[in-house]
Amino acid sequence: MQVSETTFDQQPIMIDGQEVLEDWIDYNGHMNVAFYVLAFDRALDRVFDRIGIGVDYVARTNNSIFVLQNHVSYMNELKLGDPVSVSFQLLDHDAKRFHYFLQMYHGQEQYLAATAEQLAIHVSLDSRRSAPFPPDIAQNLATLGAAHARLPLPENAGARIGLTRKSAA
């Protein structure tokens, strides 16, 4: 399934329709860290459908996408029943991999709750090894990449983890 250039706007792909469920709430009274990753993953499934690498693609080709790295940052709490919106921005891609940035927002109040930066790879499920994207999917990523190349790099993209120390003055 190849997409046309008009399929992807020069804006991040927005995925709405999730809400914080009771099972996602921890003993602190807010969404547990693990469920932020689940909510990102569910939104990503819908993005993958648009790119042509969703569950139908896996069934048809016996190829899939594996996440190699995931860096999640938590900015603000989400609580029971809060609506969730997730944006997806493609940062880079090559013949087998793609690098993207996800931002999770409170669906009504629009504050940034969390971000996830991920690197994923295309894999043959037969060999369990990386494999190049087929031409139509490579073209979809190129089309999306061209649209998203015009966007500013998200503020937290490429963030490193560590303690910040005040210098002795």
The residues, any chain, with a CB within 8 Å of residue 48's CB and separated by 6 or more, are: 54, 57, 65
Evaluate whether residue 163 is within a structural domain. no
Note the Cα 115 to chain centre separation in Å: 9
Whether residue 44 contacts residue 88, with contact meaning beta carbons closer than 8 Å, is answered with yes
Evaluate whether residue 158 is within a structural domain. no
What is the spatial distance between Cα 59 and Cα 41, in angstroms, rounded to a whole number?
A: 19
**Residue recorded with tokens 């999770």:** 104
Q: For residue range 147-161, list pLDDT tens digits in order.
A: 999 999 999 999 988
Q: What is the pLDDT of residue 144?
A: 96
Length of the chain: 169
SS3 at position 147? helix
Q: What is the pLDDT of residue 7?
A: 61
What is the spatial distance between Cα 82 and Cα 159, in angstroms, rounded to a whole number?
A: 27
Which neighbouring-strand residues pair with 55? none
Evaluate whether residue 79 is within a structural domain. yes
Q: For residue range 94-124, list pLDDT tens digits in order.
A: 999 999 999 999 999 999 999 999 999 999 9
Evaluate whether residue 100 is within a structural domain. yes
The residues, any chain, with a CB within 8 Å of residue 133's CB and separated by 6 or more, are: 95, 96, 122, 141
Q: Could you list the residue range(s) of the whole structural domain that residue 58 is in?
A: 9-148
Q: What is the CATH number of the domain that holds 69?
A: 3.10.129.10
Evaluate whether residue 98 is within a structural domain. yes
Closest CA to 34 of 20, 48, 45, 47: 20
Q: What is the pLDDT of residue 124?
A: 98
Evaluate whether residue 19 is within a structural domain. yes
pTM for the structure as a whole? 0.91
Evaluate whether residue 153 is within a structural domain. no
What is the spatial distance between Cα 43 and Cα 62, in angstroms, rounded to a whole number?
A: 22
pLDDT tens track of the chain, all 169 residues? 444 444 677 899 999 999 999 999 999 999 999 999 999 999 999 999 999 999 999 999 999 999 999 999 999 999 999 999 999 999 999 999 999 999 999 999 999 999 999 999 999 999 999 999 999 999 999 999 999 999 999 999 999 888 888 887 6
Evaluate whether residue 160 is within a structural domain. no
